Structure 1
Amino acid sequence: MFRQLDVVRIKTSSPEHGLDAGARGVVVQIYEAPGLGYEIEVADEDGRTRYQGAFAPEDLEPW
């Protein structure tokens, strides 16, 4: 289980959102219902948000 502000790696690509497998993100929210999930923010080199969205635990791994 991840905690808020943990750095994670996204295990699967999401071309429709411009994310490659292995993209680094930060946990910004944890959802516990109806099932465990995480809101992840992925930023560019300048700190601007590239994507923010929800992921299932199996789609993430520790950075």
Structure 2
Amino acid sequence: MNHSLTELELENLRHIIGGHGTIVNKLEAYAEQCSDPELKSMLQRDAQAARQSQQQLLTFLS
């Protein structure tokens, strides 16, 4: 079943996707500046998870 999104839903989805992009950028920046290997690894994993969520959400726009 194919459901069309309303303009408001599309706007909200774009906002959420943009928010995930911001999170990815911040986590990657924090990871670059981090000297603790364990924390750096955690930040990188979280950034990757946010990127994957962003990519999954983008599929709703196509």
Structure-2-length-normalised TM-score: 0.24
Higher share of residues assigned helix: 2
* Bigger relative CO (Cα 8 Å, ≥ 6 apart): 2
Structure-1-length-normalised TM-score: 0.23
